[in-house]
Structure 1
Amino acid sequence: MSRMVPPERNHPSHTPGLTSSTRITDLIPHYSRWLRGDDRRPRGRDKYVRTIQSVANWIGEDADLSDLDERAVRRYREDMADRALSASTIGNHLSVIRDFCKWAMGEGLRDDDPTWRQQWPSKAEAEPRALTQDELDALLKAIASPQGQDEETVWYWRRNRRAIMTMLYTGLRLSEMSDLVWKDIQFQERRLVVRNGKGGKSRSIPIHSALLAIYLEVPAVDRIGGKAICGKREDGLPLTYKSFANIFKVWLPRYGITITAHQLRHTFASQLLYHNANLHEIQVLLGHKRLDTTQIYLRLDERRKREAVERLPAYVAE
């Protein structure tokens, strides 16, 4: 059976000056503005723009939309596999191509989605990795005091400890933590508000009394609305996502601790489960859209499993 060939796309774009033969590279700024207008998060917008730029570079400097066809997408997917990129990364790139092409379709620049027959790679189910009790004790002991008493060392210790304890007591994602400002801390209500979290969703999390005490260590004059809870030393502005990640990649190893930010989120969930929170409560606190995402934490609780096994009767006659 012969393949249907899309008709020529001579109809005008919704954006003056753009046509189906405009180079992909020249379309990217328009796509970026659309992402901003669609209220995508800044880090997500940047990621989408970088990804579609890498696709354009791979196809060729002068590539236009007609070059981004099913065959090109398939070859690009194969190239990513040859470079041993993860299934998650490959799937993300395909999703960006789909999003970009849907934008182009909305602009009247093309009539098809070249990803519609692509097979998304199967992602290996990630096993949550909470800190063991020994690891948690080691972390808390390591950051109990700074490694020096000079002003700069103490300042960074206070900030980074505040970040770690916030994530441990709230389960915030790294991106959510880096966006957190003081106006998101409602002291009277004792709750923390996550604005525009993953998927654009907001949620609130009660503040544990131990975390509240850490916040109150910060002078009131520094707890000003738009200032980041864990910002830069110079101006209090939020750290970049990369700089925030360096707390875990660079700063914590100096204290002899090697963990990831996401392990604190897993630890928050597993500790809630161990202390009798139900799955729906954990789902709401973590900001999961689907309950089955939260159910992976059932595999974490070794202590509960051990206690369940210990409740079995003694089968060996005494």
Structure 2
Amino acid sequence: MELFTITIQNPSDPHLTSLITLLEQELGDLHKHPCGVTLETFEASSVSGVTCVGHLPGFQLQLHGQEVWNRASRALAEYILAAKEEPLIRSLLDKERHLDLEERGKIETYCMQLLNGYEELNHADSRQRRKTKLSRILVKYLEEYTSLNLEGFIRFRLDNYLSELREVVDYAVDEYVLERQYQEFIGLLKYFVFIQDTKIPLAHLVHKGGHEFVLLNERWDPLEPSHVVEGMVVEMIDCDMEMEDMIVSTLINVSPGHIVIHTREKDSQVIKTIQQIFDTRVQVCDYCKDCEAHLSPGWKPQEQVIDVQH
């Protein structure tokens, strides 16, 4: 008694073996029992696949059919995620004509990281959620039909799943383009710093925590306003830069030969940005005898604090 047949368009699909293995694992005791089910592979000129057969009279559709469909749907869902998801992402990225091959490869890797939740603490939940949704759709199909063309099923029956992949691709492309623009801007600032003459030998940037910074000279005195040229600050704001970039623009205008950043938050984004732009000029200090007093909770400077709170 044929329970279902799964066909794959490519007769030489290397993943067919993994599909059969997944089905065997899910069907488990039903597959091994003499009165259970058997998996039979086939290959034709244009398709290959596997058929699940129930052995009569021991196998009874009303008693055992639902269990077979449930287990088979889980195997098929896992197969789609493991063998088909990455090629689907790749085909969506192929439509992004403004990206070259190397860029699409990088974005593809990022998409797979997003889909598998590498940026989340509960990384298994993202994948399991998609598998559960796919399983529900597949089991409803197997309850009604005995023939399933996998490529056609994915294309015409998994609209919501494909839409989710499209959203992931769109997000990853946008993030990549923004990051590329950011790196290009950082490169421009690095070049500007390189060609600019040094105005002061040393600047201390005291990070009070959060969004508060204080800029001091080599004598730990507040930098005079005359050191700051407003033009670049205005220009950067016009470019929709974050408020924290005002610190960067101030440092560029001051043009110190060396910068010591005193902070307890070395991994904050603004600190990393300053290091990228000023490169070897930057030294990050998380504790020294001079900054101890300046970073203590009770210290309040006479100069104006640069507050970049949004």
Q: TM-score, normalised on structure 1?
A: 0.24
Structure with greater strand share of residues: 2
Q: TM-score, normalised on structure 2?
A: 0.24
Higher-Rg member (1/2): 2
